[in-house]
Structures are given as C-alpha cells and as structure tokens.
Amino acid sequence: MFYYVLKYVLLGPLLRLLFRPRIEGLEHIPAEGAAIVAGNHLSFSDHFLMPAIIKRRITFLAKAEYFTGPGLKGRLTAAFFRSAGQIPVDRSGKEAGKAAIREGLGVLSKGELLGIYPEGTRSHDGRLYKGKVGVAVMAIRAQAPVVPCAMVGTFEIQPPGQALPKIKRVTVRFGEPLDFSRFAGMENEKAAIRAVTDEIMYAILELSGQEYVDRYAADVKAELEQPKRFPRRRS
C-alpha cells in the first residue's frame, strides 16, 4: 500500500516536477506479465527516477548495505527501501550471485517487473561497464523479455559521493524488449549467458551513448581504491 502512496502521491509527482524527465519508449514496458528492465547505473538518483516513471510496480534487487546502515540515517534509508518493496541482496561471498538470481526469479514467477543494473554497481566515471551474467540467467530461466533502459544525465546531477542531486532535467530511454527464447534451457552454458548479457549491454549502450569499458566496474573500483605504491629511494 505504501509503495503506491509513495509512487503516485508523494515521491513520484515531486520527482517529475523537479527533474521534468524526458521519457522515451515507455510503450516498450509490457502492460502485464513478467519482464526485466535492465539499465545503466550512474547515480543514486536512478533508484527513484526510473520507478517514478514506470506505470507498473517494479521491484529492484538492492544491495544489502542500504538496509544495514548505522544511525538514524541508516534506519531511515532501510525503512524507505523496504516500503518501496525493494529486496536486499548480499553482494559479498561466493553465494551472492545465486542469492540475487533466486530473489529475482521469485519476482518474475509472480508475473511482476524486475529492475536490475547488470553492471552490479554504480559507474564511478560515467562510462558503461561490462555486465554480469545474472540478468541473462534470469531472463533465460524465466523466459522473460528484457527491456533495456538508459538513464541520461543522472551522473551529472548526482555523481558518486554527492549527497543531494542538482535540480536539472534528465532523460530516461527504454528500448524494444529483447527476446531470448532461442536460448531456452541454456542458462547453465557460459557461452550462452555471456552472449545474452553482451546483447543486453549493447542495447543499453545504443540508448545511452556512453563510452564502453570491457571490464567489471567493481574490479576497476577496487584497483582505484588500492593505496598507491611508490618506489623506494636508494640511499
């Protein structure tokens, strides 16, 4: 109940008023039935703008950290994400990918919309990074169409590390649904799920116009966060 109040009465109208999003291709979202909306991930604002635009209820797999933050801010953030119907997923450990797939398939089995960011994390520099294959496994196993989505301008209004977004117009583009029924039964074949994932990422790339990096965003971030080593000076 609170989800619909938040979407149609409170947050949704406010976001539309402030950011005046240009919406392209909304007709590509199926009116009913299971489907996956796969988008690029540039900003924390993406979590709010895309659901505010889509007419149907959409459930995202959100990182568990949003539900476990300390202090008042952490409790408020957790309460918001729970009220918005988002599902926490622990991204650490070997079983993280399996847990995300299990939760996502649960949403799709009920004939609902599932939102996912195949990059697995926000882009730190505005580029589009290599997609993780979980989206392909879910699409094949659930036989659900994948609607590619591109958020354009959200990196500029709220890049990583910026607490509050700038009030500036953004664009949200949806592409034609991608049908992967030809891969039925192949969700355990590495070549198949890599091919499906790359096709999804290419569709997002065409919509967003971003520069593409054929590496996982998490790996690049990890390298950047490592302390720089300087060569020892010879005495």
Measure the N-to-C terminal CA separation of the chain; round to a whole number of Å. Answer: 71
Q: Is residue 24 part of a domain?
A: yes
At 83, list the tokens: 């009220």
Q: Is residue 39 part of a domain?
A: yes
What CA–CA distance (Å, rounded) separates 89 from 66? 10
Q: Is residue 234 part of a domain?
A: no
Q: Which domain holds residue 35?
A: 2-224
Q: What CATH number has the domain bearing residue 179?
A: 3.40.1130.10
What CA–CA distance (Å, rounded) separates 120 from 15? 25
pLDDT at position 150 is: 97
Q: Is residue 85 part of a domain?
A: yes
Query: Cα–chain-centroid distance for residue 164?
Result: 19
Give this prediction's pTM. Answer: 0.87
Q: Is residue 6 part of a domain?
A: yes
Q: What is the dihedral of CA 31, 116, 173, 161, to 10 degrees?
A: 140
Q: Is residue 233 part of a domain?
A: no
Q: Is residue 235 part of a domain?
A: no
Q: Is residue 232 part of a domain?
A: no
pLDDT at position 74 is: 73
One digit per residue, pLDDT tens: the chain, 235 residues? 666 666 666 677 888 888 889 999 999 999 999 999 999 999 988 888 888 889 899 998 877 776 777 787 677 777 767 766 677 776 665 566 788 899 999 999 999 999 999 998 899 999 999 999 999 999 999 999 999 999 999 999 998 888 888 999 999 999 999 999 999 999 999 999 999 999 999 999 999 999 999 999 999 999 988 875 545 555 4
Q: How many domains does the chain have?
A: 1
Q: What is the 3-state secondary structure (H, E, C) of 189-227?
A: CHHHHHHHHHHHHHHHHHHHCCCEECCCHHHHHHHHHCC
